[in-house]
Amino acid sequence: MDAAASGIDRASAGARLAAYSRVRTADVDEAAESIGRIFCPHALDPLRHSWPDFHALHNCAAFDGFSVNYVAYGGSVSIDPGCLDRFFLLQVPIRGRAHVRTGSREIDTAPGVMASLLSPTLPTRMIWQDDCAQLILLVDRHRVESRAAALAERPTGPVEFEPHIDLSTPFGRALRFQIEYLVDLAEHGGPASDLSPAAAATLRESIVGLLLTGQRHNLSDAINRSAPQRNTLPAVFRRARESLEAHAAEPLDLEQLARQSGIGVRSLQLGFKRHFGVSISGILQDIRLQQLNARLSKAGPGERVIDIAFDLGFTHLSRMASVYRAKFGESPSATLRKSR
C-alpha cells in the first residue's frame, strides 16, 4: 500500500458522515473537479512540502436548501474559490487549522476556538493546514437573503456576515451544536432515510434564524430597528396568531383562519412572511413546540411524551423529536425527566 492510499484510509477511519461519501482521492485534479461540482469551481494547490501527504475526503448529506458536509485534506492546501455566489458556508474545524481571507478580513480558525462564516458576494482564499478537517454547513443564498429581507422589512438584497465566529461564546456554542446535531441526525437516519419537507424546512429556518439574529451582518441594524415595529402588529395578524395559539392542537385550516381574521388567504400568508419572517405553518409548529416544552416541564407522574405530543397535534413522533431537539437542545424525554 502506498503512502497516499494509507493516508486516505487513516483519514476515512475517523470521518463523519461516512455513509455519504462523495469524494475520496489522492489526486489533486480529481479532488478539485469533484469537490468543485458539489460546492463551486475553485483552485486547489497542495503546499510544496505537503505533496506526499495530499488526499481529499468529502462526505455530504443534502437536504432542501442546505447540506451538512465533512471535508478533510491531508497535509496543507491552498483553496481559492473566489466568490461562492450561490450559498453561505459555515466552516467549523474539528482537526488542524485554517487561515481564511474573505473580503478584507483575515481569520485563523481552530477546533473549539474559532469558526468561519463565508458570504457569497465576498471573494475568499483559504489555507487549510495540518491535515485540517471541518464540518461545513452550506445554506442556499436565496433562503438567507429572503429571510433577512422579511425581518428587516426591506427588498431582498445581498447579506454579508462578519466572518469570524468565536466558538467559546453562547452563540458560537449554539451554532456548533446545530451543525453537530444535523450531522448526528444524518448519520442516524442514513442516506435512505426520508426527512419530511416540513421537518427539513423547520431545521433550515432554525439555522437561518440563528445566523441572522446571532451573527453581525449588514442588515443587523435594520432588523433590530424593525423588531419593535413587529411588536405592534396590525390587528389582523395579531388575531390570526392568537387564534393559532388557542387552537394549536387542531389541524390548520387556512380558509377558516383567514375568515376569522378578516383577510384573504393569500394576504394572510404574505403578511405572516413579512411580519414574522416565516410561514403560517412554521409559526404553528413553533407554537406547538413551545406548548409541548411547557407541558413537559410541568408534567406529573404517569404523563408520557407520546400522549402530550398527540394531544398538541403532532402526528409523527420521530420528526417531532428532531425539531424539538433542534430548538431546545435536548430530547422531549429529557425535558420530561427534569420535571420528575
pLDDT tens-digit readout, 168-220: 998 899 889 889 989 998 998 888 777 777 678 778 888 888 899 889 999 99
**240: Cβ–Cβ under 8 A, 6 or more apart, which residues?**
257, 260, 261, 263, 268, 272, 280
CB-CB contact of 139 with 86 (8 Å): no
**Model-level pTM?**
0.71
Cα(205)–Cα(144) distance, integer angstroms = 9
pLDDT grade for 1, boundaries at 50, 70 and 90: very low
Average pLDDT over residues 143-164: 89
Which grid cell sits at 89?
A: 458556508
Cα(14)–Cα(17) distance, integer angstroms = 10
pLDDT grade for 88, boundaries at 50, 70 and 90: very high
266: left (phi over 0), alpha (psi -120 to 50) or beta: alpha
pLDDT at residue 39 is higher than 70? yes
Q: Pick the residue with more confidence: 4 or 267?
A: 267
**pLDDT at site 235:** 82
All domains in the chain, ordered by first residue: 3-192 (2.60.120.10), 233-339 (1.10.10.60)
Which amino acid is residue 28, in one-letter code? V
Handedness of CA 271, 272, 278, 279 (dihedral sign): negative
**pLDDT at site 227:** 60
Handedness of CA 191, 193, 196, 201 (dihedral sign): negative
How buried is residue 319: exposed, middle or buried, by Cβ count under 10 Å (0-12/13-18/19+)?
Answer: middle
Cα(208)–Cα(229) distance, integer angstroms = 21
Give CA angle at 136 (134, 142), nearest 5°.
160
Strand partners, 44: 79
**pLDDT at site 141:** 96
How many CB atoms are located within 10 Å of the residue 147 CB? 22
DSSP summary character for residue 314: -
pLDDT tens-digit readout, 301-332: 888 999 999 888 888 888 888 888 888 888 99
Among 122-126, 244-248, 256-260, 268-272, top mean pLDDT goes to 122-126
pLDDT tens-digit readout, 43-54: 999 998 778 889
Which amino acid is residue 263, in one-letter code? I
DSSP summary character for residue 253: -
pLDDT at residue 340 is higher than 70? no
Q: Using DSSP, state whether 85 is helix, strand or coil.
A: coil
